[in-house]
Amino acid sequence: MTTRIIVVTSGKGGVGKTTTSASFASGLALRGFKTAVIDFDVGLRNLDLIMGCERRVVYDFVNVIQGEANLHQALIKDKHCENLFVLPASQTRDKDALSEEGVEKVLKELEHMGFDYVICDSPAGIEHGAIMALTFADEALIVTNPEVSSIRDSDRILGILQSKSRRAKEGREAVKEHLVVTRYSARRVEEGEMLSYKDVQELLRVPLLGVIPESETVLQASNSGAPVIHTKESEAAEAYQDVVSRFLGEEREMRFVTYEKPGLLKRIFGGA
């Protein structure tokens, strides 16, 4: 198969792009696909921490682009699963170090190395780094919280995807978009104080790939440097597994999106 390039983007920061990139890439690798995940956030690298490989970073994306290291030297083999490699961002350079030709060259080389998927973890915002992350994308994961500023920013990034990606500029088939709603609370939706995933989907008009429930395990996973998809008995992990399955074309019912109201007795006497 040819390499599929997938950008994980959102516009707004702090909505779960890197968490999603790490778990999605890990999930694909667990299914046997040779996968690379690239941090495009030059100057503010964090993917290495979430993947737990921060102490093994020697060379980075910018070093490769500028010919100071080759790709083999810079790719870090993931310690949690086979078939997964991390390309960290530079912590010291400025974001203009990512030239369009340079990024294209690295992506081409990954294709020659036989990668099935390349996941591009976009920085927040709509500046150079974010544009570079989406330029070569075949597909896009739009990560959105059910919250007004996140949804508006996601809509902005969709517009940019539809005008600035290579596919758009060359008039090829459009970038395939997928919506991932994160930090979802079925209880708050039930109480009418949070937009439902259906509302978000209706507003953005992007096919829904999955809903990740708000979960304590996400912070615990980042604390320990293991993508949350590896956490046992975690709703967020299972939701990410479902995301990967749906992405690969398997049918999965939406889970963790309904809330059972506690009964009358529970409300009087309390309870967990």
Read off the amino acid at residue 184: Y
- Angle between helix axes 148-164 and 128-135 (nearest 10 degrees) is 60
User: Which residue from 192, 232, 250, 253 is in contact with other proteins, where contact means CB under 8 A?
Assistant: 192
> Which is nearest to 15 in space by CA: 164, 262, 176, 184?
184
Residue list 240-269, contact with other proteins (CB under 8 A): 264, 267-268
Q: Which two tokens stand for residue 131?
A: 């544009």
Q: How far is the CB of 78 from other proteins (least distance, A)?
A: 38
Q: Helix H segments across 33-115?
A: 47-51, 61-65, 71-74, 100-112
CA distance 152 to 172: 26
Q: How far is the CB of 257 from other proteins (least distance, A)?
A: 14
Of 69 and 203, which has the nearer Cβ to other proteins? 203
**Interface region with other proteins, contact rule CB under 8 A, candidates 3-11, 128-136, 191-199, 207-215:** 191-199
Q: How far is the CB of 195 from other proteins (least distance, A)?
A: 5
Structural contact between residues 160 and 126, judged by C-beta atoms closer than 8 angstroms: yes
Contacts of 253 (CB under 8 A, 6+ apart): none
Q: Which two tokens stand for residue 18?
A: 């890197």
Of 104 and 155, which has the nearer Cβ to other proteins? 155
User: Which residue from 9, 196, 215, 234 is in contact with other proteins, where contact means CB under 8 A?
Assistant: 196
User: Which residue from 159, 216, 248, 258 is in contact with other proteins, where contact means CB under 8 A?
Assistant: 159
Is 168 a residue that touches other proteins (CB under 8 A)?
no
User: Which residue from 130, 132, 134, 204 is in contact with other proteins, where contact means CB under 8 A?
Assistant: 204
Q: How far is the CB of 253 from other proteins (least distance, A)?
A: 23
Strand segments, DSSP code E, in the chain are 4-9, 35-39, 76-77, 84-87, 117-121, 139-144, 176-184, 208-213
User: Which residue from 113, 168, 203, 208 is in contact with other proteins, where contact means CB under 8 A?
Assistant: 203
CA distance 7 to 9: 6
Of 110 and 126, which has the nearer Cβ to other proteins? 126
Q: How far is the CB of 201 from other proteins (least distance, A)?
A: 12
Q: How far is the CB of 11 from other proteins (least distance, A)?
A: 11
**Pairing between strand 117-121 and 35-39?**
parallel
Residue list 129-158, contact with other proteins (CB under 8 A): 147-148, 151-152, 155-156
Cα 140 from chain centroid? Answer: 9
Residues found near other proteins in the complex (CB under 8 A): 147-148, 151-152, 155-156, 159, 162-163, 189, 191-196, 199, 203-204, 264, 267-268
